[in-house]
Amino acid sequence: MKPKLLITEPLNFPKDVLETLRGVFEVHMGAATRSDLLHESRDADVILVRLGHRLDTEFFGHAPRLRAIVSATTGLNHIDISAAAQRGIEIISLKGETEFLRRITVTAELTWGLLLALVRSIPAACAHTAHGRWNRDEFRDGLQLAGRTLGILGYGRLGTIVANYGHAFGMRVLVADIRPMELPPWAEQVSHDALYAESDVITVHVPSAPETHHLVGRSAFARMQRGAVLINTARGDVIDERALVEALETGKIAGAALDVLEDEYDAAATASSLKLRQLAACSRRVLITPHIGGASNDAMARAETFISEKLLRQWLSLSPQN
C-alpha cells in the first residue's frame, strides 16, 4: 500500500510532477477549509502545503501518521516548527537551496513593483481614470527615485536583487545585515540606526525568527527620516504593526506597501492589522497585497517541481521500506 500524500492547495500544480508523485504515493488533492485539512490529515504520511493553512498544535493532533511536511517556501512561520520536531516530523523546504533560489526572482520584482506603485500612487491614478476623470495634478506628490537613498534590511538573496534594482534606478544603496558582507562598490554596509536615519526608502528582507520579531518597531520608526517609505515583502511579524500605524498616522513616514501581515494565518485580524487594512481602503499612502510575492504560476511551478524532486530523493531515507 502506497503512503498517502495530501496536497492541500492543488491549483495549477504541475501535472507532470503530479504523475511522478503518483508513482510513489497515493495522492489526495485539496483541503479547502480548516475542517477539510484536519479530516484529510488523519491518515496522511506526507503533506505538501503552500501558505493557505497554519500547521499548528491542533493540526498535529489530527495527523498521527504524519512523517513529513513539504513546503515550497523559504519562510516557515506557517508551520509550528517546535511541534513538528517534538513529533519527529521532517520538514522539507526551500530553505538553504541557494543555487535554485537565485533563479526565483518574483518576490524581489514585487518589492520594486510595490515601491513604484506607492511612490507614484499608481493604483489610485488608475482608479481615478476608471471613474472618468483626468487630472494629473492630483498625483504630483510622487517621488523620483533617482538620487534618493535605498536602505535594505537583510542582504540575502532577495536583498541582493533589490539592491541591484536600486542601483539601476540611480539610487544610493545602503545595506544593514548582521553579517559582514562583500558588497559591490556602489553599495555601503551601515548599522541599522544609520540605515533608518539616512534612507528615503526602506525595504525589508529578513526571515521570521525570534531575533527579528518586531525588528522594525517604535525605536526604528523614531530614527527614520520624516517622509520615508517602507516596503515589506518578507514576513509580517518583522514589523511592529502598532508602531507602523502610529508612524503613518503622525506622518512620521509617508507610506507603506506590505505584501505580508502579522495576522495573515489567523482567522481574526489584530487591531493593528485591521487598522492597516482600513488605511489601505481609504488612503493611497498604504498598499496591501495578499502575500503574492512568490505567487506566480511560472515561479510556483518551478518551486513545486524542485521541492517534489527533493521529497522523492529524501523519501527513501525517511522510509527505507519504501
Catalytic residues: 235, 264, 291
Three-class SS state of 120 = coil
Q: For the chain, how many residues are written?
A: 322
Among positive and negative, which fits the CA dihedral 57, 59, 64, 69? negative
Asked if residues 229 and 257 have their Cβ atoms less than 8 Å apart, the reply is: yes
Going across the sheet that includes 46-49, the strands are 26-29, 4-7, 46-49, 68-71, 90-93
203 exposure class (CB count in 10 Å sphere: 0-12, 13-18, 19+) = buried
54: region left, alpha or beta (phi > 0 left; psi from -120 to 50 alpha)? beta
Asked if residues 286 and 292 have their Cβ atoms less than 8 Å apart, the reply is: no
In whole angstroms, what is the distance from residue 233 CA to residue 257 CA? 8
Asked if residues 158 and 175 have their Cβ atoms less than 8 Å apart, the reply is: no
Among 154, 77, 147, 76, residue whose Cα is nearest residue 111: 154
